[in-house]
Amino acid sequence: MKPIVYPVLILLLSLMACDNKKAAEAAGKSYKTPLQKLTSDVMTPEVLWSFGRIGNVSLSPDQSRLVYTVTYFNKEEDRSYSDIYVMDLSNNQSVQITNTAVNESEVKWTPDGQKITYIANGQLWEMNPDGTSPRQITDIENGINGYVYAPDMSKIVFCKDVRLEPTVEDLHPDLPKAKARIINDQFYRHWNDWVEAYTHLFIADYTPGKTITGGKDIMEGEKWESPVRPWGGTEQLAWTKDGKKLIYTCRKKYGIEYALSTNTDLYSYDTENGETRNLTEGMMGYDNNPVISPDGKRMAWESMERDGYEADKNRLFVMNLETGEKKEYTKNFDQSVGQLAWGNDNNTLWFISDRHATDEIYALTLNDGKIRKLTEGIHNYTAVFPTDNALIATKVSMSKPEEIYKVSLQDGRDEEISFVNKPLLDQLTMGKVEKRWVKTTDNKNMLVWMIYPPHFDPAKKYPAILYCEGGPQSTVSQFWSYRWNFQQMAANGYIIVAPNRRGLPGFGQEWLEQISGDYSGQNIKDYLSAIDDAKKEPYIDENRLGCVGASYGGYSVYYLAGHHNKRFKAFIAHCGIFDLESQYCETEEMWFANWDMGGAPWDKNNKTAQRTFANSPHKFVGNWDTPILVIHGQKDYRIDVSQGMSAFNAARMRGIPAQYLYFPEECHWVTGCQDGILWQRTFKAWLDKWLK
């Protein structure tokens, strides 16, 4: 057996051998902080933000190599650096091929496998697989934010933001210093951005050696976007094998209609005659992420059935591109699918699905319609790339950030091949993660994750934290987060109790859907069942319990603050919903509010909606009696910052110890390095103050 070589470790050790900063400055590059020798085996926020983050992974057409990015954060500069790596799959050896002060992203192979492509400074570049001869391919005004080459490399589609709404300066050129927006319809902001432009698709001819300076806007004048905001990327685009048609995802609605609907469709644009055709007309929910079979005859995609329900079951559909015939293959599969990938046999579709709080790899064979589960473990697979001999996959867990693996086609066993974070992980002791099944108040079985501190001693007593998931229909699976990181919380000396309460995926559609219209009902009881069961353990101090959560988890914290019957001694709510009536009119995705809350607060004949708003957390502030930390970002347009301010103000007016951590530049998340470290320090300090 050949000895394993860790290229990132070699690189970092070599950097340590010289004066890093002077060398980088001499090369005209910003200083990249190298790996440090840790002084403790217990994780800290600074260590958490030192991990390398693997970006998008692309398999070469001949299946012999991978290209991927790794991003590191520089705490002093409060910024990130992303560089490109190439791995030879014959020996699993990686080589770093860029080392610049510019972040490279969207790395891919050209369809002929001769070049690596990427975006830097908003433009498309190509270079040789060894990193030599980089050349700028596009020179597009204001840059691009995505691209896909046609299979025959005759054309390229790129994504570019197009401004279609007149600004105040356009309307009133004599008022150049007026700082205002004139808004005429809904959906003028989304998550963390003002909707001032629409991402359109441009198709241009591609000729090696020639710079692309423009292209045809195939959505000219249309006030909607593709890919679809806020999560969409180029996975929502696909060329047919002959390169004559582009299939793209779009929700062709505007303003209030857009805000009320999740009905995205797949459209086919014909490059020869300019015609656009709706391929999924009459399918009313999300339809997206098309993937074309290797022989070009079929298209698979993900589809939800119901309009307005963003957490509906994600079904797997396949279309015959010649006849237009559609077929669903997951009617009897009570799980959602994602990350579809065709096998080279044109008969196998690989995908990832959440089952019992882990994300596993599955295979569908079209000739018999059978679905089989390939993998099993305490982990989350996040992407899969089939080869003839194995699967290449990315995987995370609560105890390990994302790395790249080879997965056996026979038994699902995997082998790590990237080792980006091994140098740090080898110096750390992670806490034990275990599954626990708890009986709920309605006699159901609920899976609860328990995460223990490093060097856990069952003879001692520990404070414990109840974790409340957001979404509300997000997963409490084996995710690795740089904010809600369970190992970091446990490293602070706490036992974490993370229940898969009602409303979470992985346990069937009935379990998932129960929460809609019942925010304050069974799932709240599930939270309490989880912590009441855990606190029976002799190593948990029931007098030192905390409760934390964000988004819907923040709603849960605010609601439990008025209903916990003195179980908890401290609360933390990040970007939580405090006043449901205000939230209904402040948020942007009205399909979400209507489905989850049941309707509008002014609809007095709607019993579901009236029950929802009657149980708004702000109505129970009179029962609050426990210290609370409130965290919110100014640029959170999903749950407006006023929600956090109101909760903090209410606590102080009630005389309750409270603290408000306000981020003027953050949104629904915390993405800045120094802000992220501050978040972790404040989180720990608040819990330590009241629970230790």
State pLDDT tens for residues 580-624. 999 999 999 999 999 999 999 999 999 999 999 999 999 999 999
**pLDDT band at residue 35, thresholds of 50, 70 and 90?**
low
Q: Does the structure show a pLDDT above 80 at 385?
A: yes
| Each residue's pLDDT tens digit, 426-456 | 999 999 999 999 999 999 999 999 999 999 9
Task: State yes or no: cis peptide before 458, omega within 30 of 0.
Answer: no
Average pLDDT over residues 234-256: 97
**Of the listed 636, 640, 646, 675, which one is catalytic?**
636
Q: What is the mean pLDDT of the segment spanning 279-291?
A: 98
Q: How many CB atoms lie within 10 A of CB 465?
A: 28
Spatial distance between the Cα atoms of 374 and 553, rounded to a whole number of angstroms: 32
How many other C-beta atoms lie within 10 A of the C-beta of residue 260? 18
Q: In Å, what is the CA distance from 13 to each residue of 20, 83, 95, 629? A: 11, 17, 15, 41
Q: Give residue 624's pLDDT.
A: 98
Structure-block tokens of residue 426: 């080898």
> Over pLDDT 90: what percentage of the chain?
94
pLDDT of the residue at 7: 34
Quote the tokens at residue 86: 């190439």
Residues 354-366 pLDDT 10s: 999 999 999 999 9
Q: Is the pLDDT of residue 47 over 50?
A: yes
Q: Is the predicted pLDDT of residue 18 greater than 90, yes or no?
A: no
SS3 368: coil
pLDDT interval class at 375 (50, 70, 90): very high
Task: Provide φ and ψ at 304, rounded to 5°.
Answer: -105, 150
Whether the pLDDT of residue 463 is over 80: the answer is yes
Per residue in 649-667, pLDDT tens? Answer: 999 999 999 999 999 999 9
Residue 114 has pLDDT above 60, yes or no: yes
Q: What is the DSSP string of 391-425?
A: EEEEEEETTEEEEEEEE-TTT--EEE---TTHHHH
Contact 415, 403 (CB under 8 A): no
Closest CA to 570 of 545, 591, 550: 545
- Catalytic residue list contains 668: yes
pLDDT digit string, tens, across residues 391-415: 999 999 999 999 999 999 999 999 9
Residue 160's pLDDT is 98
Q: Is 636 a catalytic residue?
A: yes
pLDDT digits (tens, 9 = 90+) for 258-273: 999 999 999 999 999 9
Q: How do residues 295-305 score in pLDDT, each as one tens digit?
A: 999 999 999 99
Q: Average pLDDT for residues 172-181, to the nearest whole number?
A: 96
Per-residue confidence (pLDDT) for residue 34, from 0 to 100 = 54
Q: Quick one: pLDDT band at residue 161, thresholds 50, 70, 90? A: very high
Does residue 379 carry a catalytic annotation?
Answer: no
Short-list 23, 24, 45, 47, CA closest to 35: 47
The whole-number average pLDDT for the span 10-31 is 36
Provide the percentage of residues in the chain whose pLDDT is more than 70. 95
pLDDT above 60 (res 32): no
| DSSP state at residue 618 | G
In this structure, is the dihedral angle defined by the CA atoms of residues 551, 627, 434 and 425, taken in order, positive or negative? positive
Predicted local confidence at residue 231, as pLDDT = 87
Are 464 and 531 in contact by the 8 Å Cβ rule? The answer is yes
Can you read off the two tokens belonging to residue 167? 């600004």
Which residue in 397, 551, 556, 646 is the catalytic one?
551
The pLDDT value recorded for residue 12 is: 34
Helices (H) and strands (E) in the chain, counts: 15, 38
pLDDT at position 540 over 50: yes
Whole-number average pLDDT of the chain: 94
Active-site residue, selected from the candidate residues 379, 564, 632, 668: 668
The yes-or-no verdict on residue 33 having pLDDT over 60 is: no
d(CA 34, CA 9): 10
Polymer length in residues for the chain: 692
> How far is the C-alpha of 321 from the C-alpha of 240, rounded, in Å?
9
Express each pLDDT in 307-322 by its tens digit: 999 999 999 999 999 9
Model confidence pLDDT, tens digit, residues 632-650: 999 999 999 999 999 999 9
CB of 220 closer than 8 Å to CB of 201: no
